[in-house]
Structure 1
Amino acid sequence: MDPLTVVTFVVAGVASLFMAWAIGAGSSGSTPFAPAVGANAISVMRAGFFVGILGLLGATLQGANVTEAVGRELVVGTTLPPIAAILALFIAAALVAVGVFAGYPIATAFTVTGAVVGAGLAVGGDPAWAKYYEILAVWTLTPFVGGGVAYATARLLRQEWLPDVAAIAALAALVGAILANVEFVLLGPADTAQSVSQTIATTGLGVVGVTLFIAAVAAALMGADVRRDAAAGQRHFLIALGALVAFSAGGSQVGLALGPLLPLLDASEVAIPLVALLFGGGLGLLVGSWTAAPRMIKAISQDYSSLGPRRSIAALIPSFIIAQVAILLGVPISFNEIIVSAVVGAGAAAESGGVSRGKMLYTVLAWIGSLVGAGVLSFGLTAVATSL
């Protein structure tokens, strides 16, 4: 490998790690446990610690789909040259880092998507309209679906006629059924992912049978926990949901840091196993979560809505579902958008929800500005750099 190629990979690797750190400090590190922190189920520092570990696991086991989408599906007809990939990563990471230190949740997926698309168009690529429509549909539906499901769940959990044991057990069964069908890269054959239900189904039980069994076990365990102590059981379920969302965040967000590296690897003779690449990106997320996430955890948990355990549970369930759907589709999605929408929906279920409309307005403007700003800036700088 010639010296120029080595330097290119080093610079691109630094840019990717910077992006992974910014994501870990922002969306994937701060949002998953924010409702649990807001409900006083876990401390800010402990949440930051666990979200880093869980994000690393999620990145390694579920990060392939979004990584492929960001690296190869946002622009067609061309491959990002090294300078374009490096500029896209640094621009996106810088904008996300500004959001972290300013206390506003910049939508990482918007920022990275805008930067990659802007860089790709600047080097002569064509828009991938089919992928854009899919992404736009998910981004548009997320606040309505997430907020709506969170609101409905929070209202249901507030009903006096519904015992906590029955409600929590039913929700645990739903989560268990979804978890049984989540795909993990290490469970399938080479270069493919497979779910727990698909893996166990080969023994003759069938996918439906395995799914129902895991759902029943989850319901029984949570139901027994709530019977022993209702308040403790709710906290345990809330922390478990936060862990699942943190895991999902790693699987979704690592692709935003690693995706732009794929064209560089394709054009070189370097062969790096995808799992090893995902693990390296997960380490970047972990460092970001451990060093800077507590600031954003506090901002989201306290500034958007004062949530109790029930409304926090209501916020995390749709967050987990939406995140896994996006991973399955290979759509880059912002966990800030997911969690904030769900938190607002859950908070609106009670008159004392404390939702800050001013904060939400600034947040939405930051999301739109990050998408447009990253795209324009990346397009301009890449056009100048490639013309020199």
Structure 2
Amino acid sequence: MSNAPKGNQWKTLDKDLNRISQMEYATMAVSKPLVAPGIALAFMVVAGIAAALFFNETPVSFVVVTAAVFGAYMALNIGANDVANNMGPAVGANALTMGGAIVIAALFESAGALLAGGDVVGTISKGIIAPSSVADSGVFIWAMMAALISSALWVNLATVFGAPVSTTHSVVGGVMGAGIAAAGLSAVNWTTMGAIAASWVISPILGGAIAAGFLALIKAKIIYQEDKIAAARRWVPVLIAIMAGAFAAYLSLKGLKRIIKIDIGTALLIGAGIAALSYVISAPLIARQSEGMENRNRSLKTLFGLPLIISAALLSFAHGANDVANAVGPLAAIVHAAEFGDFADKVAIPTWVMVIGAFGISFGLFLFGPKLINMVGSQITKLNPMRAYCVALSAAITVIVASWLGLPVSSTHIAVGGVFGVGFFREWHAERRARAHSASRPPELRIAKEERRRRKLVRRSHFMTIVAAWVITVPAAAVISGLIFLILNALLG
């Protein structure tokens, strides 16, 4: 007698298999959003294991392992939030795909952190809290732990709400809040805090003004010329030279501290030499690339594509060299205090700590970066390669100007300020042209003021959200840090 299923049994089997396949699809749909947090959690666990293996003291300090886990968490959040400012304009201008931007940024961020990241870091984040005000090394360790956790939590929260914030200012707020909780208001260097607060205003305004100035130059000298291609042959090599010179000076000044100390004058001389060399190389290349191009704006976008990609990569390298300390500064301070039983203004960063920072930034960018990249690149204002190029140029030049003036500035505020500067300049320029055009039309064909207002080129909702996030970053991180310190000190102190 045959044991094969009968007709009705086949139908039942098909229904059961269909239910199983639907269950599998449902499980995949539910688990998909959990993949990125799962990988991030695994990286944090690996960071803790690395701390247990590489920390010099025996037995292994629970405090150091915990700090390494939270240092990895902070690095992941820097990658998710801060790196968007370097890659967002290039992606928004369609010069790079999202995948290409993530690969380039991950490579150059890691290279910047590992090759040019400072080997010594200020543990009290630019002299905000005097070490002498925190008498006990145990109290100091909990203060740094609170600063690390609070700054990471704040950057994470800002990323969830789609607000690009300064991770430097988050760490500053965390250190200040923990310092106040540990030693009172007198422990804070309020002069330094005042300079940092001033940078909230100076960074975006300076970045926006420089970006708008370059866009005005491109419009006047290239876009509005009768022969756009001939104008581009003259001016694009000049703009490439300015970019190369600015980045050479920027990287000499900020990105090579581990290798050699360079003053502002020497950095500018290096920049001038690289600018001249870049002009000599790029002029014939642009002339060859522009042969046979149509006399229209789309052709111009092609000429700016490659320089924009190079500038985004260089920004990422410089960011990795400078901002990895935000992730590992408090961690390095905790490792030093746990190993030697004391604390200082500056400590050496162990290689394993720097590796956690570098890889954490790359993982954070890969897993969570696309949200902020899209926001900076396409949701504030519409960007093309020329506008995005102005933002990248502005970022490098503003840092050099700020360093020369001795002003503490935020790379996040500069880059986002550059995007806003380009957008607001376009609004002003479009309004001026509309008024001039409207004046020559009969009254019935003129565009009403209300309609012109509706056609704003910068989304005001994003503007207000980002500015609000910038203003409350330091106080919010400080409050969170103070509370975490009090809890840690009460439970474990």
Shorter-chain TM-score category? 0.7 to 0.9
Structure number with bigger Rg: 2
The whole-number CA distance in structure 2 between the counterparts of 1:328 and 1:260 is 27
Tell whether 2:145 aligns with 1:42. no
Cα deviation, 1:12-60, whole Å, max 9, x if unaligned, reads 01111100110011112x1101111111100112111211111112223
Distance 1:61 1:177, change over 3 A: same
Alignment match, 2:286: 226
Match of 2:244 in 1: 176
Structure 2 counterpart SS, 1:150: helix
Q: 2:474 aligns with which of 356, 364, 371?
A: 371
Residues 1:104 and 2:176 are matched in the alignment: no
Cα distance in 1 between the residues matched to 2:401 and 2:77? 24
Map 1:337-352 → 2, pairs under 5 A: 337-351=413-427
Measured against aligned partners, the alpha-carbon deviations of 1:242-278 in whole angstroms (never above 9, x if no partner) come to 1122122222321211121233233243696556543
CA 1:345/1:272 → structure 2, altered by over 3 Å: closer, same or farther? closer
Matched, 1:164 2:240: no
Is 2:274 the counterpart of 1:214? yes
1: CA distance, partners of 2:351 / 2:262: 15
In the alignment, which residue of structure 2 is the partner of 1:242?
312
Correspondence for 1:253: 323
- Is the Cα–Cα contact under 8 Å of residues 123 and 332 in structure 2 kept in the other structure? no
Equivalents in 1 of 2:237, 2:96: separation in Å?
21
Deviation at 1:170, TM superposition (A): 2.1
The residue number in structure 2 matching 1:204 is none
Corresponding letter in the other structure for 1:362: T
**1:22 matched to which residue of 2?**
77
Counterpart of 1:82? 141
Instruction: Give the distance between the partners of 1:336 and 1:143, measured in 2 at CA.
Output: 9
Instruction: Decide whether the 8 Å contact of 1:248 with 1:323 is kept in 2.
Output: no
1:202 is aligned to none
Deviations 1:203-244 (A, max 9, x none): xxxx84x54331111123333333213543310111111112
Q: Which whole-Å CA distance do the structure 1 matches of 2:248 and 2:110 have between them? A: 20
Kept after mapping to 1: 8 A contact 2:121/2:349 = no
Change over 3 Å in CA distance of 1:59–1:137 after alignment to 2: farther
Question: What secondary structure sits across from 1:123 in the alignment?
Answer: helix
Change over 3 Å in CA distance of 1:83–1:22 after alignment to 2: same
Change in CA separation of 1:187 and 1:369 when aligned onto 2, cut-off 3 Å? closer
Structure 1 residue corresponding to 2:332, chosen from 262, 266, 287: 262
Contact 1:172 1:218 in 2 (8 A): yes
Is 2:118 the partner of 1:64?
Answer: yes
Cα drift, residue 340 of structure 1: 1.4
Moved more, 224-233 or 266-275: 266-275
Aligned residue type for 1:244:
L
Q: Please say if residues 66 and 331 of structure 1, whose CA atoms lie closer than 8 Å, have aligned partners that are also in contact.
A: no
Aligned partner letter, 2:101: A
SS of equivalent residue, structure 1 residue 348? helix
The one-character-per-residue Cα deviations of 1:116-140 (angstroms, maximum 9, x if unpaired) are 1101121116112332233233332
Q: Give the CA deviation at 1:369.
A: 2.4
| Distance in 2, Cα, partners of 1:154 & 1:313 | 9
| Aligned residues between the structures | 374
Residue in 2 that maps onto 1:293: 369
Alpha-carbon separation, structure 2, partners of 1:348 and 1:167: 24
Q: Which amino acid aligns with 2:202?
A: L
The one-letter code of the counterpart of 2:426 is A
Query: 1-side partners of 2:266 and 2:90: how far apart?
Result: 31
Contact 1:241 1:320 in 2 (8 A): no
Aligned with residue 303 of structure 1, among 379, 393, 404: 379
1:296 Cα deviation (Å)?
Answer: 1.1
- Are the aligned partners of 1:142 and 1:337 in contact in 2 as well (CA < 8 Å)? yes
| Contact map agreement 2:420 2:458 (CA 8 A) in 1 | yes
Q: CA deviation at 1:143?
A: 1.2
1:113 to 156, 169, 172: 172
Between stretches 281-290 and 244-253, larger displacement belongs to 244-253
Contact 2:177/2:479 (<8 A) preserved = yes
Secondary structure, counterpart of 2:122 in structure 1: helix
The alpha carbon displacement at 1:361 in A equals 0.3
Paired residues of 2:149 and 2:481 also in contact (CA < 8 A):
no
| Cα shift at 1:166 | 3.0
1:95 is aligned, of 122, 132, 154, to 154
Q: Are the equivalent residues in 2 in contact too, given 1:72–1:259 (CA < 8 A)?
A: no
Contact 1:67–1:256 (CA under 8 A) maintained in structure 2? no
Q: Which amino acid aligns with 2:334?
A: L
Instruction: Between 136-145 and 220-229, report the one with greater CA deviation.
Output: 220-229
Q: Structure 1 residues 130 and 60, CA, compared in 2 at 3 Å: closer, same or farther?
A: farther
The RMSD of aligned alpha carbons is 3.0
How far did residue 144 of structure 1 move?
1.1
Report the Cα distance in structure 2 between the residues aligned to 1:266 and 1:368, rounded to whole angstroms.
Answer: 33
- The answer as to whether partners of 2:116 and 2:257 remain within 8 angstroms in 1 is yes
Q: Deviations over 1:91-150 (max 9, x none)?
A: 211221122233222332232211111011211161123322332333321111100111
Q: 1:97 to 1:66 in 2, by over 3 A?
A: farther
Tell me the equivalent position of 1:203.
none
* CA-to-aligned-CA distance 1:286-312 (integer Å, 9 cap, x gap): 111111111211111111010111111
Equivalent residue for 2:398, pick from 319, 322, 325? 322
Q: Aligned AA for 2:330?
A: P
SS at match of 1:32: helix
